[in-house]
Amino acid sequence: MTDTQPATPQILLAHHLKELKLPTFLREYDKLARQCASDAVDHVRYLLRLAELELIERERRMVERRIREARFPAVKSLDSFDFLALPSLNKALVLELARSEYVLRRENVIAVGNSGTGKTHIALGLGLAACQKGLSVGFTTAAALVHELIEARDDKRLLRLQRQLAAYKLLVIDELGYVPLSQTGAELLFEVFSQRYERGSTIVTSNLPFDEWTGVFASERLTGALLDRLTHHVHILEMNGDSYRLKQSKRRQRAQVANPPANPSGE
């Protein structure tokens, strides 16, 4: 006679659910079974509820993974954007873009306006919305991207990086125009836009109107070719107005004057 006991159904079930990668089934099946038994729910509806819980949890994990892979500098939603502070911005268009259908159509978005008006916030919000739709998103600044492209070229891994950038369903390039580009940098950045043309969507934010982009790329020919590709299928967000950040800073200063901090020493 042997001391080895056969595995219990619970142990076997836990093993099989782990192998099938169904962690929510494993975590919830017993509690939900008791609840369904109490409510006289039949076995089919019990399994349906378990499957729904697993799908909801799987979608949540998928969104979290997309957000991590996007490398957003901060996670910001459009719900927290103050549209009233920027009357020039077409709110209806932004909310329509938040549905991410433009990404499926491989259309571009360009947010243009002076500094501090929330262009990055809008770009982050649209990027987050795309992640929530299950789309692959990448976020970078123009200066960081050019630096990464030059490094990759020097390390002979440029082709791999270009393929990675071309694979995103949505690529967000923030702050184009803040830093003038070298000829090499401009050509490498142009190549990114060119490879994504009609293959993927790109969001660009810039503090410069289009007629000043030549100063960034230092070439009328390159700038013209870039704008031709970017604006072929494009939604333009006009974001000129008073600096949102400056208004927030002034509001905080007024609040501090009106409500000075208490003196901890009591003097």
Does 253 fall in a domain?
no
pTM of the model: 0.80
The dihedral built from the CA positions of residue 131, 137, 141 and 147, taken in this order, carries a sign that is: positive
Residues 35 and 120 in one domain: no
Decide which of 267 and 57 is more confident: 57
Does 94 fall in a domain?
yes
Written as one letter, the residue type at 169 is: K
Please tell me the least confidently modeled range out of 50-64, 124-138, 251-265. 251-265
What per-residue confidence (pLDDT) applies to 267?
42
- Retrieve residue 34's tokens: 């008791």
Residues 150 and 217 in one domain: yes
Does 257 fall in a domain?
no
153 dihedral zone (left: phi>0; alpha: psi -120 to 50; beta) = alpha
Does 184 fall in a domain?
yes
What per-residue confidence (pLDDT) applies to 32?
86
Does 261 fall in a domain?
no
Does 222 fall in a domain?
yes
Residue 59 belongs to domain spanning: 9-68
Q: CA dist 99 to 55, 61, 121, 135, 167, Å? A: 21, 20, 17, 12, 20
Residues 213 and 97 in one domain: yes
CATH of the domain at 167: 3.40.50.300
Residues 31 and 139 in one domain: no
Mean pLDDT of 46-50: 88
E-state strands within the chain: 108-112, 137-141, 170-176, 201-206, 234-238
The number of folded domains in the chain is 2
Q: Closest Cα partner for 134 from 171, 172, 187, 170? A: 170
Does 169 fall in a domain?
yes
* Cα 119–Cα 107–Cα 81 angle in degrees, nearest 5: 25
Residues 100 and 206 in one domain: yes
Contact criterion met (CB below 8 Å) for 213 and 227: yes
Residues 165 and 132 in one domain: yes
Neighbours of 236 (CB within 10 A): 14
What per-residue confidence (pLDDT) applies to 27?
87
pLDDT digits (tens, 9 = 90+) for 105-137: 999 999 999 988 999 999 999 999 999 999 999
Residues 84 and 181 in one domain: yes
pLDDT digits (tens, 9 = 90+) for 162-207: 999 999 999 999 999 988 899 999 999 999 999 999 999 999 999 9
Angle between helices 23-38 and 43-70 (to 10 degrees): 150
Residues 39 and 76 in one domain: no
Residues 58 and 98 in one domain: no
Residues 111 and 209 in one domain: yes
Q: Does residue 208 surpass a pLDDT of 60?
A: yes
What per-residue confidence (pLDDT) applies to 1?
44
Residues 28 and 51 in one domain: yes
Alpha-carbon gap, residue 78 to 230, rounded angstroms = 24
Residues 62 and 168 in one domain: no
